[in-house]
Amino acid sequence: MARDKELTGRVAWISGGASGMGLASGIRLAEMGASVAIGSLTQELAAGRINENQRAFTPAHDRLEIARKAIAEHGGKTYAAPLDITDPASVEENHAAITAELGPVDILINAAGNSGRSTIVDHPDSLWNAMLEVNLTGSYRMTRTCLPGMIERGWGRVVMFSSTAGLVGAELHGAYCAAKHGLLGLMKCVALEGAAHGVTCNAICPGWVASEQNVLGVSQEAEMLGLDVSVEEYRAMMAEKWIPQKRFLTPDEPGAYVAFLCSEGARGVTGEALKVTGGSMW
């Protein structure tokens, strides 16, 4: 069908694109005809930058290239480079390189994120700052870089990956919840600023997703609770207790939302926080 390649000629940029929901989003957009650029904080770039209390999946540089090739198999031009969304220079350099290689960015998917757990009473300032810098300020920085061109050209799509943590609170997740709630506020403001210019901005709020980032978070939580169980065992326990569908989502399920939000069929959808959770509240 003609709609299958409706994003032909569009350029998408995805932070956190080497794995999980970012990679799944890249594959979906490539299937729709878009040229896709991905960036992720690689192990080499992350050296000395990850707070000891954080849990962030940082792929090796070759993993970024593997992800690029996986996206390229679905058609369209591709680009991949290490990206640190907490570093303004890294964002600007990547944006300039993508524009030169593929063209102006029409679609921005803010999928990069990290996690960390602590009680409020014992919460280190360093962890708080790191959570907000990656999960909120980084997406603001990426959006601020791409939005002017979208407005000027009269078309754009911005998708924020928030979380159910952006809708409810949870013990041990103070900084993460604060950042993800803030991301929804940012999304609504971008939606209003872009509305008259053909630019939409929405957020996806996934529940529990079976990703490499999730492995780190689940491992940390089991450790904090003093449970001697494997990741798979603890996931099964969590699914049974918290998720009505009794399963973790696959990254492709939120990725399907990305495909819809970037389509012409979603041109009237903006300022919305869309849940995909398997029925869970958290």
| Cβ neighbours of 116 (radius 10 Å) | 27
Tell which residue, 96, 110, 101, has the closest CA to residue 139: 110
| pTM as predicted | 0.92
Say which residue the tokens 């000027």 belong to: 152
Q: Helices (H) and strands (E) in the chain — how many of each?
A: 10, 9
pLDDT band at 212 (very low <50, low <70, confident <90, very high): confident
Residues in the chain: 282
Rounded CA gap, 39 and 23, in Å? 10
Contact present, 178 and 250 (Cβ < 8 Å): no
Contact present, 112 and 179 (Cβ < 8 Å): no
What residue type is 175 in one-letter code? A
The domain spans of the chain are 2-207+251-273, 208-248
Rounded CA gap, 21 and 46, in Å? 20
pLDDT at position 215: 66
Q: Mind telling me the catalytic residues?
A: 176
Contact present, 11 and 106 (Cβ < 8 Å): yes
CATH number corresponding to 2-207+251-273: 3.40.50.720
* Mean per-residue pLDDT, 28-32: 98
Tell which residue, 239, 241, 240, 249, has the closest CA to residue 277: 249
pLDDT digits (tens, 9 = 90+) for 264-279: 999 999 999 999 999 9
Rounded CA gap, 110 and 160, in Å? 5
What's the whole-number average pLDDT of the chain? 92
93 contact partners, CB below 8 Å, separation of at least 6: none
pLDDT digits (tens, 9 = 90+) for 54-89: 556 677 889 999 999 999 999 889 999 999 999 999
Rounded CA gap, 126 and 197, in Å? 39
pLDDT at position 224: 72
Rounded CA gap, 50 and 41, in Å? 10
pLDDT higher for 117 or 243? 243
* Mean per-residue pLDDT, 166-193: 97
